[in-house]
Amino acid sequence: MKKTGTAAAKALCLLLALFMVFSLAACSGTDAGGDDEEKIVHTGKNVKSPSGVKYFTKNNLTVDMININSDGSVRTIDYPAGYEYSQMSDDEKEKWDAEEVFFSGHYMQVSGLKDKDVEEIVNEKLKNLCLDNINKIPPYRGIKAEIGENPESAKEGYKSAYQSVELNDNNILSVTMYVSGSYKSVLVEKNEYGYDNSVYFAFQETLNLDLNTGNDIGIVDMFCNDVDALACVNEAINEAIARGNGDEEIWDIGSDVKIAAPFTGISADQKYSINNSGINIVLDYETPEFDTGYYPAFVTVPFSDKVAVSERFFDEKESIYESEAPVSKHFPYSIQDAQNIEIVADEYKTIGENGTIYLIRSANCPKSVPKYIKERMSDFVNIPEEEILSEINEKLPEDANLSRIVGDYSLTARVDEVGPFVNITYSGYKYVYEGRQDDSEEQKDYFYEEISRRETYDTRLEQNEPIELSDIFKEDADISGIIKQAFIDSINKSLDSENSTRLENSDKLPAFKTGSSNEIEKLNEEYIDKLYDNIIYFSIDCESIYFTFETLPAEIYREIYGTDPFEDDNAIYINAVGWIAYDTLDCDKLTIFDL
């Protein structure tokens, strides 16, 4: 009996077990998950969190742009500028129209990789990215309803298709292909935005390549292996939705983006690019839960310690480039999260019994900034009202009409974080004048002063003192020699390039003369010495060291050329600023990348 009972029990168990197995198999056939579920496979190195991006190391890669026609063929002729074209006769215009004057485009090609097979793969992909999209009609929501199946280009509608490098660092090449154009609308009458009966559109395709292999990099490889990459991106998008809807002013997506359906998350093939600020998720026709109109929108996922960008494809000891030139480094941009701002001071009020002095104080910074930095900012903007009034009274002339005093006293402190460095910019102005009783009366200014000052702190040092210029160079470095040479290189570069902005206000700086005569060299040397001696502040920027030079332009100009550059143009006196990009320095001589 016992034996039989055991067998029956066993049989029953077996029956139930098999029933459960078959039953499960039967129902799972209708389940959307199961075998279709995406398996995340990482490429490149195995990177564990925390990782993050302390700094980027630039690729020693040369990028050339190839101008093209709308059929993708290489363009060899120079086109007239817009104004030049507008001045042409109809016949001439017709000729240029036939030459596709309304189209401009280019794709890029790279050189400098040791592995030429990989280089060929990369260049083929770059070219195809262009050719595959140059004439594509982006499948946006509603676009065919507006332009039809075979749309006609809008008259004189410019069309462009160009590529740009978003990131060229750490053996990653991230490229965006941006195509824009316009078509004739087939609707009876366009809505309020389409006054010219044209439909404008733009779209973006992206390519993210591992330069070791030429392989595409999926978004999951932007994150560490032990991190749920898709969840990180989804979280950023959900935060952007919440933030943007709460306050359009700070919504990166833009106020024209609407949520058309529940956002349930991105997939592993999500379109993205990467730049100095973070991972940019492209929202467009591939994410129909967002209605972006006929333009792409973006959500940036900031770099965090979950990001594997620095390490995934990069080995500092092994170069994949032909060039042996020193590598250049730079810091990622720090995005100030509007939800994470701490207000140290924010006030707009009228002070004083006589006249009207508007006191404007403003200081805010990320919550993460150390307490001593917040205190510095607070000390600057929170000068007691009595002190301000006393200062104004001291500066007023004896015959000032106190009842008609009008003025602004503005104090602002702002912070930007670059790697472990925090720059504080103090600024403001004091402007006091006698108010006019009517328009016929001339305004009488009593005084005007500007405040502009910067300080840089190294948060690793936990010291309540700003760092000195000498702190950012290694001990054996010839600081003045390096900086002066960098100035010379920067100015020469700016002279070589029409569009250079390396020296801001360069129109007010004396020309740096090129040539070989001893006299010019002497003048240039003198100028560079003055430039160096007049450095009053510096700060650590993402791409460069930023300098402020006191009173330099007028003094130097007068000394060298004997005239005042400001006499003719009534320019307001300002300090000159300039910067030395890290790519003109040997980064190994700097301490700032020893992280």
Residues lying near other proteins in the complex (CB under 8 A) are found at 7, 11, 14-15, 18-19, 21-23, 25-27, 29-30, 139-146, 149, 187-192, 241-242, 244-248, 255, 258-262, 288, 291
Q: Are 96 and 365 in contact (CB under 8 A)?
A: no
The whole-angstrom distance between residue 360's C-alpha and the CA centroid of its chain comes to 29
Q: Give the separation between CA 379 and CA 55, rounded to whole angstroms.
A: 32
Q: Compute the least distance from the CB of residue 286 to other proteins, in Å.
A: 9
* H-only helix segments in 355-478: 371-381, 385-395
φ/ψ of 418, rounded to 5, equals -130, 110
Q: Which residues of 552-589 are buried (b: 16+ CB within 10 A; e: fewer)?
A: bbbebbeebeeeebbeeeeeeeebbbbbbbbebbebee
The whole-angstrom distance between residue 94's C-alpha and the CA centroid of its chain comes to 40
Q: Compute the least distance from the CB of residue 160 to other proteins, in Å.
A: 22
**Residue (74 or 145) nearer to other proteins, CB:** 145
Q: Compute the least distance from the CB of residue 206 to other proteins, in Å.
A: 19
Nearest residue to 34 (alpha-carbon basis) of 45, 46, 26, 43:
26
**Residue (149 or 476) nearer to other proteins, CB:** 149
**Residue (26 or 325) nearer to other proteins, CB:** 26
Q: Compute the least distance from the CB of residue 284 to other proteins, in Å.
A: 12
The residues, ordered by sequence, that sit 6+ positions from 189 with a Cβ below 8 Å of its Cβ are 197
**Residue (16 or 461) nearer to other proteins, CB:** 16
**Residue (83 or 195) nearer to other proteins, CB:** 195
Q: Compute the least distance from the CB of residue 277 to other proteins, in Å.
A: 24
Q: Are 328 and 542 in contact (CB under 8 A)?
A: no
Q: Give the separation between CA 562 and CA 557, rounded to whole angstroms.
A: 7
Q: Report residue 181 as tokens.
A: 């154009």
Q: Compute the least distance from the CB of residue 412 to other proteins, in Å.
A: 23
Q: Compute the least distance from the CB of residue 157 to other proteins, in Å.
A: 20
User: Cα angle at 194 between 193 and 200, to 5 degrees?
Assistant: 100
Based on C-alpha coordinates, what's the Rg of the chain?
A: 31
- Evaluated on CA atoms 344, 349, 351, 356, the torsion sign reads positive
Q: Compute the least distance from the CB of residue 158 to other proteins, in Å.
A: 23
**Residue (245 or 382) nearer to other proteins, CB:** 245
* H-only helix segments in 99-210: 116-131, 143-147
**Residue (145 or 231) nearer to other proteins, CB:** 145
Q: Compute the least distance from the CB of residue 247 to other proteins, in Å.
A: 8
**Residue (7 or 461) nearer to other proteins, CB:** 7
**Residue (21 or 131) nearer to other proteins, CB:** 21
Count CB-CB contacts under 10 A for residue 227: 21
